[in-house]
Structure formats: C-alpha cells, structure tokens
Amino acid sequence: MNFLQKLKYIQRKNNSLLCIGLDTDVSKVPEFLYAYGDPQYEFNRRIIDATKDIVCAYKLNIAFYESVGEHGWYTVHQTLARIPEEIITIGDGKRGDIPSSAERQALLFCEDWEFSGTTVNPYMGKDAIEPFMRRNDQCAFILAVTSNNGAKDFQHLKLKGKPLYEHVVKTAKKWNTKKNIGLVVGATRPAELKRVRSLAPELPFLIPGVGTQKGDLEYAVRYGCDAKGEIAIINVGRSIIYASNGEDFTEKAREVALKYRDQINRYREKYFRSR
C-alpha cells in the first residue's frame, strides 16, 4: 500500500480528515503527570488512546522533543509505537540539507522512527530532500505556503511573473514519480490554498494553522480537499491537546477533537458529497 492509498483508507475508515498535532510542551502538561517517569510520553499516550478512532493522522513537531535532550528521542519512539499502524504519522522537522546531511536526517525520520511522512524544506533543491522521497509508502511534504506571519518574505516573491510558491508546487509535481510527494499549505492563506489545489489536484496537503493560529476551517476544507473531499490532512494541535490542564484533559481533548472532526465533515458534506 503506497502512502496515498494508506491515507485514503484511514480517512474513509475513521471518516476523518483531522490530524492532531502532538506538539507536547513538557511545561504545559497537567501537573499530576509529573509523577510519571516520562510525563511527555504519558500525556501523548492518553491523548492518542482518547482520539485514535476519530483522526486520520498525528503530527509530531520534533522541536518539542529535541529540546528536552536525549530522552526526547525515546519519547518519539514510544509515542509512535502507541499509535495504531493504520494511522498516518508525520514527523514535522522541516528537514533538507546537502545530500550527505540529508541522508542522515532521512535515516532517522524514515528508517529509525519510520514516520509515514516528513515535512521538508525545498529551498536547497531536489538533492537536499531526495532521501525522503525514496519509499512510496512514505510522503515528503514539501513546504509551499506556510501559516506563519513571515511566509510572504520569500514565498510570494515574483519569479517570471509568478510567486515563488507556484514554482515550488510545479517542481514538486515533477518530482512526484512515486506518488509520494505532498505539500504543506497553511489554512491562514485561503486564497493561496485555493490556487495551490488548482495547480496540484492530485497531491495530499498537510494543512496547519487551524485553531490557535485562527486559520479558517471552512476554507481549509473547501479549498484543501481534492474533488472527492479527501487527501487533505487538517492539523489542529494546541486547541485540542491543551483543552484542559486538569485531570480531565483527555476527555476535553476528545470532546474538542470530535467537534473539529464533525465540523470538517459538515463542510465536506456541503461542498463535496452533493456532487
């Protein structure tokens, strides 16, 4: 099963485009978890167990694990082992470097941790991300239009009359010979999201920016999905995982996750199911 097949399978099985961002800041987990040896993993474990039937993916922003030192490496391993195999896992590290360095980065993300997908930065060109593109069961999510405020500093610069991000999208399509390339397109940029989907109707999109960053969920669904209302992975992190800082945090996380999942599906029904 290649990546796109796996993605469609879990989205249909769980009737969900929702991805939960496990961007777990140790300083923000409920205080009672500090009684456990690894409060970061214990937090992740409980979130996963409470939501695994209503998501299509989990995304781990690696900075939150690297920043806690060597133990964070083991926490990533433990967290991935807890996630059911059929669910997509995304290592959000935005990697990409000269080939010798990229090889070592990919060894960790693709072979050791064995994420289903990894976010990669195309700025240095194809050889900087080629090691992430070798397996057709794993996806290289190329940064196209990001959700942060500084995105326009470079991504919107005009080159031959078109913004740089359009050149990135068109090049990414050329690299997609194994059907394992995706794009990162932020929900905070609905016009660009619509444009990128028109340029790349067949590529899976990882869509951050919903929730705390206040990206528009309706536009994320309407413009991020393909013609069948699929292959968009809509990430929500802090709004779900920090819905409560008390002992009821898992119940509250599930409650908020269900609201997002159900709202996404209402928009899918509105824009795609009637076709």
Helix (H), strand (E) at residue 159: strand 158-159
Q: Which residues contact 70 (CB under 8 A, 6 or more apart)?
A: none
CA separation, residue 215 to residues 105, 156, 168, 176 (Å)? 30, 19, 22, 28
Residue spans of beta strands (DSSP E) within the chain: 18-21, 57-61, 88-95, 117-120, 139-145, 158-159, 162-163, 181-185, 205-207, 232-236
Q: What is the pLDDT of residue 215?
A: 84
Show pLDDT as tens, one digit a residue, over the chain (275 residues): 999 999 999 999 999 999 999 999 999 999 999 999 999 999 999 999 999 999 999 999 999 999 999 899 999 999 999 999 999 999 999 999 999 999 999 999 999 999 999 999 999 999 999 999 999 999 999 999 998 989 889 999 999 999 999 999 999 999 999 999 999 999 999 999 999 999 999 999 999 989 777 789 999 999 999 999 999 999 999 999 999 999 999 999 999 999 999 999 999 999 997 54
Q: What is the pLDDT of residue 274?
A: 55
Which of 8, 52, 94, 152 is catalytic? The answer is 94
Domains along the chain? Answer: 3-273 (3.20.20.70)
Q: What is the pLDDT of residue 149?
A: 87
Q: Which residues contact 246 (CB under 8 A, 6 or more apart)?
A: 30
Can 228 be counted among the known catalytic residues?
no
* Three-state DSSP state, 207: strand
Pairing of strands 232-236, 18-21: parallel
- The whole-model pTM stands at 0.97
Q: How much is the CA Rg of the chain, to the nearest whole Å?
A: 18
CA distance 180 to 203: 8
Q: Which residues contact 85 (CB under 8 A, 6 or more apart)?
A: none
